[in-house]
Structure 1
Amino acid sequence: MENNNIPDNAFIEQVTQRFGQIYFSYDITGSEFRYISPILEKFWGIKPESILSNPATFLTSVHDEDKEFLSHQYQKLLVSHEQTQAEFRIVLSNKEIRWVCLSACFLQDEKNHQNLIGGFAEDVTAHKEYTTNIMKYNNKKNSTLEILSHDLATPFANIQGIISAIEEQMNQGDVNIQQLLSYIKQDALRGSDMIRDFVNNEFLESSQVVLHKERVDLASKITIMMDNYKDQEQLVAKSFKLVSPKKPILIYIDMMKFMQVMNNLISNAIKFTQDNGIITVSLEDKEEHALITVTDNGIGIPAKMQPFLFDRFTPARRAGIRGEKSVGLGMSIIKTIIELHSGEISFDSEEGAGTTFYIKIPKE
């Protein structure tokens, strides 16, 4: 075979340059880096030599809010010896913030009696920005659909009521008009059901897809979602409030599915809360988990229904205040998605006083 005269190291460097990945190996025993790709300087703004001579230099560029997280991931790798992946932020010399995804594994060099960590890091800032924009528009779509289905349910219900009243007062012999009114009534009901079925189907399909977790600022995402609802308060005659810390809450979740969970809980709150009611979403940063609560001051859940609320096709299903349709799948899907995140969901409810749902999601 013809020799292409490209040394192995040079070939590796060409690959790392092409794919924008920073490869490294770290000697745990000696607490020092043995190798770092030269491309580090291009993407990170730090010369590899600086870190090779002083490993602590690496941490100086890590965002202050991520240093503890990264340290914990390192200790976790030392204990488990399992391949791990961590997303964190770095702050460049010009104060620009970049997202980095680091993949690492534990290795043993038996010949030299050394324990090593090897892996690679890549800049995922563009992906994060892309995902954020998708989430922004997806949240707006979900909240708009929920508002739309709720808002259109009212005129449809009114149409059905008026038609029923006309039917009672009509001359029984006027068959043709009765038939036309029957068609209108059926179309109004079909239109309302189609909207609700569309929203339900979107949610059902979401629960059947494998989770794609990433580390995101949950506080920021929920704030965007609630802003969408606040913009439409007059349409549903409800007030929406958000209680959230100003600092980021960084957590690994599948944002697309998790925000569908949040939208579904808010949709339920809208369905069972009278006009001028208040729906409040709260977010707290606990030591080991994030706690999200969704509270309304609506009609509450009857005590006899509460034990079955999370059952699939639950007997606890019921129409909303304005007759909104329910197939009894929503809460079971919510519970499934939360449990896929290794989380917990519970609730408190009192008839005539309202309902509060509690969601706990572990930070890792």
Structure 2
Amino acid sequence: MIIQPRTRGFICLTSHPEGSAQNIKNQIEYVKSKGTIANGPKKVLVIGASTGFGIASRITAAFGSGAATIGVFFEKPAAEGKPGTAGWYNSAAFEKEAQAAGLYAKSINGDAFSDEVKKETIELIKKDLGQVDLIVYSLASPRRTNPRNGVSYASVLKPIDQPFTDKTVDFHTGVVSDISIQPVENKDDIENTVAVMGGEDWKFWIEDLKAAGVLAEGVKTVAYSYIGPQLTYPIYRNGTIGRAKDHLEATVPVLNNLLKDLNGVSYVSVNKALVTQSSSAIPVVPLYISLLYKVMKEKGIHEGTIEQMQRLFAERLYTGEAIATDEKGRIRVDDLEMREDVQEAVAELWGQVSTENLSQISDIQGYRDEFFNLFGFNFDGIDYEADTNEVVNVPSIEK
């Protein structure tokens, strides 16, 4: 079938298998170009492994240090006349590239919050790898059912205490406008968001993996967070999502205590603002990213997801030396974004930006390209007018 992008707001409803495969190949080539991560992991579990930081982590582990990888994700398979999700195509392409390179790669498609998927993952580790030495936790979901009490939670994206009003952009049309978001009406919204996006499920995973004996001596686990500039604080770090990130970060000492007898350690990595399916849904953030990209590209310090993850692994997690953290114990690979000169330049542009000058003073086109790249579109060398085979299977997942 001929697959073209169809969008609804910040969601792309279609994805392209050949474009997604090209996306994966590009990321693999970048990691290979940076050389071997000498002290890197060898047996890796990535929870939330199909898009964004998750797939970039899996690529970095596999092609940066030759790791065997198991990926857990929840994606829609392809069927005749119906394209699969981008994450499905990403995972199919990754497995094929890994196998061609002689690397172990298997995947599990299901609800990572569930006990069933945790058990299935543990059984696969026992059968094929024995133990894992790195667990990457990179789940992003609007809903979660707690498997231990059966309660389902839905997250909300809202400020706390006061309404929030600022600029935002429709990145499809380029219209800059003001947006106002009312604060949460009750603390249940906050607690539900923490239940979905906080550290509880990360802890459940590590508890279950340890109890099953599949964590290696010296195991590391890392989850991803974001802080950002003050202009996004009301809707992000000081809002409901920020409370969830606080909980995620507060889970680190709990896990460190749990892993102590294995000489294991856990970290939260604070990453740069990037175009992901999740960030596209947050008001203000697409406009901020468009301005940030403009500034960072002009300064020659721009990074995408794969550059961020390669640097996290090679220059933070696996240097063979003590891992540098901030005063709260977090790894910071948002250091280039948060440089004073970068933030001052973005703040100046923020005060100027409008619909009329958006294309001149921001990198809105770069934002659009990266958004569509997430779904396999806007890649050079792909004929999007041609028929393509939409039925692509992930090799390790039974049909």
Computing the radius of gyration from Cα coordinates, the structure with the larger value is 1
TM over 0.5: no
TM-score w.r.t. length of structure 2: 0.21
Which is bigger in relative contact order (C-alpha 8 A, separation at least 6)? Answer: 2
TM-score w.r.t. length of structure 1: 0.22
Kindly indicate which of the two structures has a greater share of residues assigned to helix.
1
Kindly indicate which of the two structures has a greater share of residues assigned to strand.
1
